Each structure stands twice: as C-alpha cells, then as structure tokens.
Amino acid sequence: MSKERKMTITIPREEYMSPGHLACQGCGASLAMRLALKGLGQKTIVCIPACCWAVIDGPFPHSSLDIPIYHCAFETAASSASGVRAGLDMVGDTETTVLAWAGDGGTFDIGLQALSGAAERNDDIVYTCYDNEAYMNTGIQRSSATPIGAWTTTTPVKHYKKERKKDIIGIMAAHGLPYIATASVAYPEDMVKKFRKAREIRGTRFIHVFAPCPAGWKSRPEDTVKLARLAVQTGYFPLFEIENGERWTLNLKVKERKPIAEYLKLQGRFRHLKEDEITLIQQEVDARWEKILKNCGL
C-alpha cells in the first residue's frame, strides 16, 4: 500500500551483533546487546564474565559481535574493564569505550566488590548489568536481583523468594557516579540514547538494563518486549537517570500505572502467587515508585 512512504528508522541501522548467536528464542539479553552497541558504536571493547552472554556470543574462534571481547571470570567484569582501560590509556587510545557487560548475578552478587572498587576509583568504563533476575546460564538459581515472590530452582514454589530485590541503583548512587541510568529493551530509542550519552561521559557509568528471559521466567518468547514494557508501565522498572550522583530525572512519566498483576500473570514464575501476595507486591512497587518520584523532584 504505502509504496512511497519511507521506512521509519528511529535507531541506528548499523548492526554490531550478527545473527547465528546462541541465545534462546525471544531472549531479552540478546536484544539488549544489539541495542546497546547501536548506541556505543564500533569503537568499543567489551568484557564479559561468566553469564548467558558468555555463551550467546559463540564458541572460540567465533563471535557474534563485531567488536573485541574479553571473556573474564564471573566476579571480574568491572576489574577486567578497569584493566583494559588502563592498557588502552598506556598505548594512548582514549577513543575506545570499555564496556563491562555482566548479568545480575555477576553484578548484584559476586561482582559487587569489583564494581564498587571501580566505582570508587571512578574508572573510565561503562558498566552494564543486563538483568534477567536470576542465574540463568546455570539453570535459573535465585540471585539477589530475583524479585520477591518469584519461583526459581533454588526458591521452589513452596519456598518462593521471600526477600525483596536488592536496590542496586541505591548502592551505585551512593558511590556518586557521574552517570547512572535504567534502560529497557521495550524502549529502544531511550536505550540507544542513554548508551550514546554514556559514551561521551568520562568516569564510571552504570546502566541497568531490564532484559526478560523466557526460559527462566516461564514466559512466551513473543512476550519479551511486552513484559519489558509492562515493567515500565506498572512502575516496577521505571526509566530514569542520575547525573553526578544527585540529579535524578524520570525519563518516562507514567500517568496511570498499570496494576502489577498484569505483569505477573504473563509469567509462569509467579503463577503460584495468591491475591494477598500480589497485593503485597503491589504495595512494594508503589512504595518504590513514590520514592523515585520524590528523588526526581516530582
């Protein structure tokens, strides 16, 4: 029909991630990498610790990424990136962006001290946590990023997770970083913009990316973007930035937040929850949303 109409292109056309990679069908983490690299561009080197992405990329000597990758130990995403940065500085390369790309286990749990160290030194790296809310690569074990109420193989239905998700943004904000942002695969323009912005800032930048995982969340692969969008629309995962440790900006003002039940019911990992438990989760989400609004001066 619209022969004359031009294709609407709202994010860069260049691809730095090729097809043929090993992620599951509908993997949010793979979409996250595709979008992040559109923002960061070719002059990027990435450090990837043990996580799904260490597998997704492909086996040696192959890689689905068009940028150099340094595979490092589980707890060392940040320290490896700091080291790569120091090496580049020594050869006078100030142009290349060093990206640390870790899962939530590698960030909230085992990699936290390395990340805190790099942040305290304000090392010149872009640290990204793609958050699929559990240890997916090893078979869906709970992490401290797993939300309250969720099933995982180590928090079975009878003993579903009772602890709330660790406030990683609060921890990183306390380090007074030059740039912190949340991003979502359901909002590619916002996400690409944030990575592009992070590229131009010096010091430690921290980006928390929400990346649904059909295999671990027991959701339909086609619902990945829908779930990421609902996470934002319910206020479960708000999109915001923190500059210089203090200036909070809400990027997407959700006027009427959707009930959290809409988000939960699309995922098998929450299927066991009863109404009163969902009400408690709703209260958690409301409280955190209010806190973020307040921080943003709204």
Stretch binding ligand TPP (CB under 6 A), from 80-88, 113-121, 133-141, 193-201:
133-141
Least distance between Mg ion and beta carbon 123 (Å):
23
Return phi, psi of residue 55, to 5°.
-95, -45
Least distance between ligand SF4 and beta carbon 6 (Å):
11
Confirm or reject binding of residue 13 to other proteins (CB under 8 A): yes
Q: What is the DSSP string of 88-106?
A: HHHTT--SSEEEEEEESII
Is 252:193 a contact under the CB 8 Å cutoff?
Answer: no
Return phi, psi of residue 264, to 5°.
-65, -40
Is 228:210 a contact under the CB 8 Å cutoff?
Answer: yes
In Å, how far from its chain's centre is CA 28?
A: 9
Q: Which is nearer to ligand SF4, 219 or 282 (CB)?
A: 219
- Which residues in 48-67 contact ligand TPP (CB under 6 A)? 50-52
Confirm or reject binding of residue 32 to ligand SF4 (CB under 6 A): no
Total binding residues toward ligand SF4, as defined by CB under 6 A: 12
- Which residues in 7-36 contact ligand TPP (CB under 6 A)? 29
Among 21, 27, 98, 104, binds ligand TPP (CB under 6 A): 104
Neighbours of 15 (CB within 10 A): 11
Confirm or reject binding of residue 132 to ligand TPP (CB under 6 A): yes
Among 80, 132, 184, 204, binds Mg ion (CB under 5 A): 132
Q: Which is nearer to other proteins, 19 or 297 (CB)?
A: 19
| Dist. CA 8–CA 31, nearest whole Å | 19
Using the structure block, give the residue that is written with the tokens 């779930």.
227
